[in-house]
Amino acid sequence: MHEHYDELELRAPDVRETALMAALPAQVKHAQHASAAFADILKGVDAFAVNCRASLAKLPVTRKYELLERQRAHRQANPFGGFSTQGFGQGMPRVFASPGPIYEPEGTHPDYWRMARAIYAAGFRSGELIHNCFSYHFVPAGSMMETGAHAVGCTVFPGGTGQTEQQVQAMAELLPAGYIGTPSFLKLILEKAEALNTPLPSVRKALVSGEAFPPSLRDWLQARGVSGYQCYATADLGLIAYETSAREGLVLDERVIVEIVRPGTGDPVPEGEVGELVVTTFNSDYPLIRFGTGDLSAVLPGQCPTGRTNIRIKGWMGRADQTTKVRGMFVHPGQISEVAKRFPQVGKARLIVSGEMASDHMALLVESNETAEGLALQIGEAVREITKLRAEIQLVSPGSLPNDGKVIEDIRSYA
């Protein structure tokens, strides 16, 4: 019998979906009224008509670079670009800064970033000490994990980053139940402990994030007695998905709506196809509606063997922003999708940019059952109209393009 953080993880999928969709209109309405940014982005939207995934998919996607642009444009009046519903004071005890810089508020709600679920799934339980090696300055990672650990009932040692020898000493003397931080830094700590001939017998579990966690590193940790689990979270959204003991993808958090869309667009892709993660949260202080993470992933079929019934994703599979410059012109994934949309007989499309410096060549591969020469000519004209560039058009059979989320592939040589 697997343990679960709460009964929400065991809900029938249709019950969960009904609850999320029932709560969605009020969150959209709240964002429109309490967030100046979404008052503009969602202007004219009937919030109470946004009550299903199809209606949600009609709303615009707000991507991270757009959030940054709004923050820069309104920084003197509002450092959050109008996205936060709270001002400085008791409702916002901390402000953080991620690269950009993008400023993120932290509210007063318990487990504000919703990290407790991932920490619990990694094996941590009430009454334990956690050694937290995420940064406590500028970025919110340290606070994200600490507030989640407190919600589980754990005490936290704020180890922060750096000073591996001091980290080893603290672990050896305080005997924490486990570690939270990046997987690479845990490896450095364990290597330092081995070099110092200092056993760390209490460290038997870890929740890692912030970078790739390949199976080779997971096995390296396991060989030293540490069971490491990963989670996927961002400074804007908090927890999105987490790994379980089944080690079959990542299970979505219970308080987010996740869509997988064609990169550069807001159009959902078929289940199983790789695309960009777009997330809607129910955070009343920072109500992000259809926030494009820029990360690629795909939905896994079936349910988690641990009994958790929420949707699973494969995890991080790369970046969705594939914008490239060709002959001095920027070409965006959204432009390629716009070309494909003009032709109902066309499925997926993939632009291959090849050649050498100052000698670029574009080839657009499109999936279609139609092989008539006239279709290729029409697609070529559409490419030139939309991108102002010429491209060779290659018609390929449906299903022949890789399922990796790439819309633009740059294979030019700059040697």
**Domain assignment of residue 81, given as a range:** 7-313
Separation between Cα atoms, residue 301 and residue 311, nearest integer Å: 8
Amino acid in the structure at residue 113: W
Amino acid in the structure at residue 350: R
Q: Is there a contact between 168 and 198 (Cβ–Cβ < 8 Å)?
A: yes
Q: Is residue 2 part of a domain?
A: no
The two structure tokens encoding residue 115: 């990290």
Q: Are residues 74 and 172 in the same domain?
A: yes
Q: Is there a contact between 132 and 157 (Cβ–Cβ < 8 Å)?
A: yes
Secondary structure string (H, E, C) spanning 57-85: CCCCCEEHHHHHHHHHHHCCCCCCCCCCC
The two structure tokens encoding residue 379: 């697609």
Question: What are the backbone dihedrals phi and psi of residue 96, each rounded to the nearest 5 degrees, phi first?
Answer: -120, 165
Q: Are residues 184 and 72 in the same domain?
A: yes
Q: Is residue 296 part of a domain?
A: yes
Domain with residue 251: its CATH number is: 3.40.50.12780
Q: Are residues 328 and 302 in the same domain?
A: no
Final residue of a structural domain among 313, 335, 355:
313
Separation between Cα atoms, residue 27 and residue 19, nearest integer Å: 13
pLDDT at 356: 67
Give burial (CB, 10 Å; 0-12/13-18/19+) of 243.
Answer: buried
Of 85, 105, 45, 60, the C-alpha closest to 284 is: 85
The pTM of this model reads: 0.86
Give burial (CB, 10 Å; 0-12/13-18/19+) of 373.
Answer: exposed
Q: Is residue 160 part of a domain?
A: yes
Q: Are residues 105 and 167 in the same domain?
A: yes
Residue partners of 351: CB distance under 8 A and separation at least 6:
331, 336, 362, 363, 364, 365, 391, 407, 408, 409
Q: Are residues 305 and 329 in the same domain?
A: no
How does pLDDT run along the chain (415 residues), one tens digit per residue? 358 999 999 999 999 999 999 999 999 999 999 999 999 999 999 999 999 999 999 999 999 889 999 999 998 889 999 999 999 998 999 999 988 889 999 999 999 999 999 999 999 999 999 999 999 999 999 999 999 999 999 999 999 998 999 999 999 999 999 999 999 999 999 999 999 999 999 999 999 998 889 899 999 999 999 999 999 999 999 999 999 999 999 999 999 999 999 988 899 999 999 999 999 999 999 999 999 998 899 999 999 999 999 999 998 888 777 878 787 677 888 889 899 999 999 999 999 999 865 578 999 999 998 877 799 999 999 999 998 889 999 999 999 999 988 899 988 865 4
The two structure tokens encoding residue 231: 């989670």
Q: Is there a contact between 217 and 229 (Cβ–Cβ < 8 Å)?
A: no
Domain count along the chain = 2
Q: Is there a contact between 243 and 229 (Cβ–Cβ < 8 Å)?
A: yes
Final residue of a structural domain among 280, 313, 346:
313
Q: Is residue 225 part of a domain?
A: yes
The two structure tokens encoding residue 199: 């056993």
Amino acid in the structure at residue 147: T
Q: Is residue 378 part of a domain?
A: yes
- Residue corresponding to tokens 């679960």: 4
Q: How far is CA 377 from CA 334, 351, 374, 385, in A?
A: 21, 16, 5, 12
Q: Is residue 35 part of a domain?
A: yes
Amino acid in the structure at residue 71: Q
Q: E-strand spans in 255-385?
A: 256-261, 275-281, 291-297, 299-300, 312-313, 324-326, 329-331, 346-356, 359-368
Amino acid in the structure at residue 275: G
* 3-state secondary structure at position 179: strand
Separation between Cα atoms, residue 275 and residue 268, nearest integer Å: 8
Separation between Cα atoms, residue 348 and residue 62, nearest integer Å: 23
Q: Is residue 1 part of a domain?
A: no
CA 114 to chain centroid: 14
Q: Are residues 272 and 387 in the same domain?
A: no
Q: Is residue 86 part of a domain?
A: yes
> Is the link from the previous residue into 101 a cis peptide, with omega within 30 of 0?
yes
- For Cα atoms 153, 159, 165, give the angle at the middle one, nearest 5 degrees: 135
Q: Are residues 164 and 106 in the same domain?
A: yes
Q: Are residues 248 and 273 in the same domain?
A: yes
Q: Are residues 97 and 228 in the same domain?
A: yes
DSSP state at residue 361 = E
Separation between Cα atoms, residue 302 and residue 298, nearest integer Å: 13
Q: Are residues 213 and 276 in the same domain?
A: yes
Q: Are residues 245 and 177 in the same domain?
A: yes
pLDDT at 1: 37
Q: Are residues 305 and 336 in the same domain?
A: no
Torsion 297-261-328-352 (CA) sign = positive
Separation between Cα atoms, residue 243 and residue 241, nearest integer Å: 7
